[in-house]
Structures are given as structure tokens and as C-alpha cells.
Amino acid sequence: MAARSAAIEEHRHLTGLVGQYVSEHRHGGWQSRGVCCYYRNMSQKKKIFIADDEASLVEAMVDYFHTMGYEAASALDGNAALAKIQAMKPDIVLLDILMPHKDGIEVLRTLKADAATAGIPVIMLTNVDTEARIAEALELGCAHYLVKSNYGLRDLVGKVREILEQRSAAQNKKI
């Protein structure tokens, strides 16, 4: 029970959860139970974009970010990712390196060269862990480089939150 309470408190901290209730519905022989959650500043949900060619991983990440109170969208290849990122203007991008049509390094290079997307923080989330690729991504301006096999979804949400908070603090200093 203590672990569940800690998880609920972490969820509230990460997402701004204000309250929730459990509802049960009976219809014929069927019973459904759901949890409805209320968040503060729902109009200001942070937008996350995920670009990775592993469809099942992308689906899991999108679902997890949604449950944590974020808006999430995705693409499975580099060309689609660029088009969607430029249209969506997300608050942060999670980007794999090995993708069809255009790799993540080329996507990062294009994003950072475009004034409209250059300020969006990008986390490289990949299984490519060579020093040369890490150095290249950091030189191009990625905010952080994570090796997938070393991080769980919970860790990823924490890193996203940390980078978004740093970005918000930096923007508030400018004002």
C-alpha cells in the first residue's frame, strides 16, 4: 500500500493531479470500473514528440506519457518525424538514431538549423552508444543522450520533466 501511495504522489507531482475519483458502472452482466482524474492547467499540457521506428516501444511510451498527463505524438521514420515536429512545435522531442528514410542525427541537424524548431530540446533515446555518435549528437545541440537499455519509462519521464523545468526556468529568467 505504501508503494501505491508513493506512486500516486509521484504522479501528482509530475502532472499536477488535483483530484480523482473511482467510478463503477453496471450494465446487464457487465461491470466496468474507471478512474477519472482532474489536472490543473489542462490547457497547458506539455507536448512530447517521440520519433522511433520500434512501433511497440513508441506505443508504450505514448500511452505512458498520456497517463502521466502529457500530450504525446509520434512518427516511425525520420521524414514523418520532421514534418510532424515542424507542424506540432512540441515542448520536447525524444529521438532515436536508427530510423528509416532519415536517421535521427540528420533529423536533429535539420531541427537545429531551422529557427522555428532550434529551441526545442531534443533527447536522443537510442541503443547506439558509440562515443562518436554521442559526441556528434551533443555537438549538434541535443539536450541529453540516453541509451534505451539503461532507462525505464519512469526514468525517462523524470528526465523529460527535468529538462522541461530547466527550460522553463531559463525562459522565466529572460522575462
Res 10: pLDDT: 55
Res 172: pLDDT: 77
Is the CB of residue 35 less than 8 Å from the CB of residue 11? no
Res 35: pLDDT: 45
Res 143: pLDDT: 94
Tell me the Ramachandran region of residue 87: left when phi exceeds 0, alpha when psi lies from -120 to 50, beta otherwise.
alpha
Domain with CATH 3.40.50.2300 in the chain: 45-174
- H or E element at residue 137: helix 131-140
CATH number of 45-174: 3.40.50.2300
Question: b or e along 134-171 (b: 16 or more beta carbons within 10 Å of the residue's beta carbon)?
Answer: bebbeebbbbbbbebeeeeeeebbebbbebbeebeeee
> Which cell numbers hold the place of 132?
562518436
Strand order in the sheet with 71-75: 71-75, 47-51, 92-95, 122-126, 144-147
- C-alpha to C-alpha distance for 33 and 54, rounded to whole angstroms: 32
Q: What is the mean pLDDT of each run of 10 residues along the chain (175 residues)?
A: 52 49 43 44 78 94 94 96 96 96 96 96 93 94 93 92 89 72
